Amino acid sequence: MNSMSGLDGMTERMNEAHNVSGMGGVGGGNKVDLNVNPNVTTDRGQEFYDKHICGSFEDMNLKDKLLRGIYGVGFEVPSAIQQKAIVPFTDNHDLIAQAQSGTGKTATFSIGLLQNIDENLDKTQAIILTHTRELALQSFNVVTALSKYMKIVVNLTIGGNSVRENIEELNNNPHVVIGTPGRILDMINKGALSTKYLQTLVVDEADEMLSKIFLSQIHEIFQYLPGNIQVGLFSATMPTEFFALTEKFMRNPIKILVKTEQLTLEGIEQYYINVERNEFKFDVICDLYAKFSLAQSIIYCNSKKVVDDLSHKLNDNGYAVASIHGKMSQDERNDIMKGFRNGESRILVSTDLLCRGIDIQQVSVVINYDIPQNVENYLHRIGRSGRFGRKGLSVNFMTYYDIKTLREIEKYYSTQIQELPDVNQISLFQ
């Protein structure tokens, strides 16, 4: 590993709506116009949710059975986003919530919607939309665990599962349906998923869900929703253009936002290693694993090819490695994730498929083998370590061509990424 002092040193040596008028319910809604509506006000002011900050789950007036579920999964004190967001959500306000990865967003909206569900009404009352099957499965597990003592039926509706089985399960009218936009829309169009009694829609990783890839599906889903539906949007990052879209299908939402300079996770130490050229990366990563006593870690690459090449080389050198990317079948991905969580492999090599929302409790180290191609994904990647207040370490492999991107990341998050020091200077190993 080359030694240098700061990025400047490297540069010198080597030379970045539902407030839609007339939108109706099932089968009769008008088309949603996604042009900006200047008549929708989204500025609620700080004072509303400031008075709803709750330092304990008991102060939130939650159902006893829900409280049992919360404590049953090991939650003791609500995180910052939970203190601010749960009560406004249980009070049926539309909500835009931004907070760091690993701070309990999934539990926030899960608790909020479970509080408002009528257990005695066997109808679908809440839908959670996610952009990946893995994230949908994680949300399913969280909602199921929190509702353990309630009479709640939770359904997972995702691509890769049998359409026939999905239809049969939905015919039983589960209280909560969790899935990807394409499969959810298909089930609505087939008449298997009724939205007549729907009261809450949650959009997780909302910035991704409202991107061009999913926007048309989200737009179509909204045509089938009741006009008074409560909408909750949750994400770690929210670009400026995001808010123009939200004005079209939300009613005066409460915004709980984190300033950009506060987005980088507390407790995560961020470093870089000067690798000079891509050909040197493999030798450096072997050196890194030999030098540091790492538990489970995730290595991020920017392409399937690099994931495959790196995982094969590491396996050939005796490392317990698993790899995952979007070209694998859902069953393959599920098996790999299960094995990694169970400790069958020490290293998981991945594309950005896993950078959003997936909680892997054992991971304390994230390595960016390739620097992410956009600044937002940097936060999502390193957020896999240091979950919910634990210490974490992020190491970035940097070539000459990555200097500009790393500069942009530092500026965007008002952070400083330093050269990797000696192991004894890293608090994770102290």
C-alpha–C-alpha distance, residues 313 and 326, integer Å: 20
- Residue whose token pair is 């390595």: 367
Token pair recorded at residue 272: 């870089």
Q: Say yes or no: 335 and 384 in one domain.
A: yes
The reply to whether 285 and 415 lie within a common domain is: yes
Considering the domain architecture, whether residues 247 and 358 belong to the same structural domain is answered as no
- The pTM assigned to this predicted structure is 0.62
The distance of Cα 319 from the centroid of its chain, to the nearest Å, equals: 28
User: Is 347 part of any domain?
Assistant: yes
| Residue 127 pLDDT grade (very low, low, confident, very high; cuts 50, 70, 90) | very high
- Of the given ranges (98-112, 214-228, 298-312, 355-369), which has the lowest mean pLDDT? 355-369
Would 182 be classed as within a structural domain? yes
Q: Which residue has the tokens 């509080």?
A: 115
Residue where one domain finishes, among candidates 206, 237, 257? 257
pLDDT at 21: 28
If asked whether residues 197 and 290 sit together in one domain, one would say no
pLDDT in tens, 196-239: 999 999 999 887 787 777 888 988 999 999 989 999 999 877 77
226 and 332 together in one domain: no
Residue 413 belongs to a domain = yes
- Helices 133-146 and 64-72 cross at an angle (nearest 10°) of 120
Least confident of 191-205, 247-261, 380-394: 380-394
- Residue 377 is part of a domain; what is its CATH number? 3.40.50.300
Which range of residues forms the domain containing residue 137?
Answer: 46-257
| The predicted structure's pLDDT at residue 273 | 92
> Could you tell me if 198 and 127 are in contact, meaning their C-beta atoms sit under 8 angstroms apart?
yes
Cβ 307 vs Cβ 323: under 8 Å? yes
Same domain, 270 and 294: yes
Of 232, 257, 282, which marks where a domain is finished?
A: 257
Q: Are residues 280 and 293 in the same domain?
A: yes
Reply yes or no on whether the pLDDT at 254 is more than 80: yes
Who has greater pLDDT, 45 or 167? 167
Question: Which amino acid is present at 401?
Answer: Y
- Whether 357 and 138 have beta carbons less than 8 Å apart is answered as yes
Find the mean pLDDT for residues 299-325. Answer: 92
Contacts of 245 (CB under 8 A, 6+ apart): 34, 210, 215
